[in-house]
Amino acid sequence: MDFKELSYFEGNIVPSDQAKLSIQTHALQYGTAVFGGIRGYYNKDKKNLYIFRILDHYKRLINSTKIMQLQFFKKPEELVEITLKLVKESNYHENIYIRPYIYTSALQLSPRFHDVKTDIAIYILKLNDYLDTKKGLKTMVSSWRRIEDNIIPTMAKASGGYVNSALAKSEAVQNGLDEAIFLDSSGFVSEGSAENIFLVRDGVLYTPQLSSSILEGITRRSIIQISRDLGYTVVEKTISRSELYVADELFFCGTGVQVAWISEVDKRTIGNGTIGPITEKIQNAYFQIVTNQSNSYNDWVTQIY
């Protein structure tokens, strides 16, 4: 089925090749933007596309503008409406990734958030796996520390902060690995370059708390709820580096990465080097929910057609 490459740009839905910014754009110089990443899953049996937790993603995006003081006045519900219209008009019948960002759009100098015009742009990509969810991921604890809340607020998904992620990701990949794990400025486990992390030990799930300089992931929140509904205990706490090495199971979660298990950290095999039973159960539940094959959690997905 044919799809159209459309974007939302300067208040209109336009062909993506017409959505162009000036090289003088403020955000391009200073990273003064906030963004989101939302997935849509195509269910071939139901011949329909389902967007995962779109309102929650836009609530976080608007919270990001609040933290950074970006002057932006649309409500999350309005952004949901614009996005659903864009997705529908684009006519995708496959898995997609939606990238909205709110940026300082003025052609101006001087890094600041006050007194500078902003705008929102939204584009869509076809996207299946971002990292392999079937084979175990090989990881390292990054030599780069995670930015902290008093340096660049980590609860805001702020573009400039992703310089930190890029350094860690490149270091990991250039060392022949798949992904990096950040420690926070106190030396506790924080998150991956673009994903949250969970570990399982003696049947209990643990994940770094919000004060460990993590992004408050929508997937993280979903995994906490799914795990508790499956009867597991989930604890949000500070996690030390060596707890990673002795975990029975370890996995990343995030919109891009989905639920992807980790086989190795710093050359140490995690568990017995295969996907753990609890991770597998959670991963299965997650994929069922996002593709709307589950009888519950229907309010987490928005049907497009």
Residue numbers annotated as active site: 157
Q: Spell out the residues 6+ positions from residue 97 whose beta carbon is closer than 8 angstroms to its own.
A: 37, 38, 39, 40, 124, 125, 126, 127, 255, 256
Q: Give the separation between CA 286 and CA 275, rounded to whole angstroms.
A: 15
219 binds ligand PMP (CB under 6 A): yes
196 binds ligand PMP (CB under 6 A): yes
Instruction: Annotate each residue in 249-268 with x if it binds ligand PMP (CB under 6 A) or - if it does not, as one string.
Output: -----xxx------------
* 116 versus 168: smaller Cβ distance to ligand PMP: 168
179 binds ligand PMP (CB under 6 A): no
54 binds ligand PMP (CB under 6 A): no
218 binds ligand PMP (CB under 6 A): yes
Q: Give the separation between CA 199 and CA 243, rounded to whole angstroms.
A: 8
Size of interface with ligand PMP, in residues (CB under 6 A): 14
Site for ligand PMP in 150-169 (CB under 6 A): 165
Q: How many helices (H) and strands (E) would you count in the chain?
A: 7, 17
- Compute the least distance from the CB of residue 57 to ligand PMP, in Å: 7
DSSP conformation letters of 183-250: E-TTS-EEEESSSEEEEEETTEEEEE-GGGT----HHHHHHHHHHHHTT--EEEE---HHHHHT-SEE
Structure tokens at 25: 């754009």
Instruction: Annotate each residue in 25-44 with x if it binds ligand PMP (CB under 6 A) or - if it does not, as one string.
Output: ------------x-------
Interacting residue ranges for ligand PMP, rule: CB under 6 A: 37, 165, 191, 194-196, 215, 217-220, 254-256
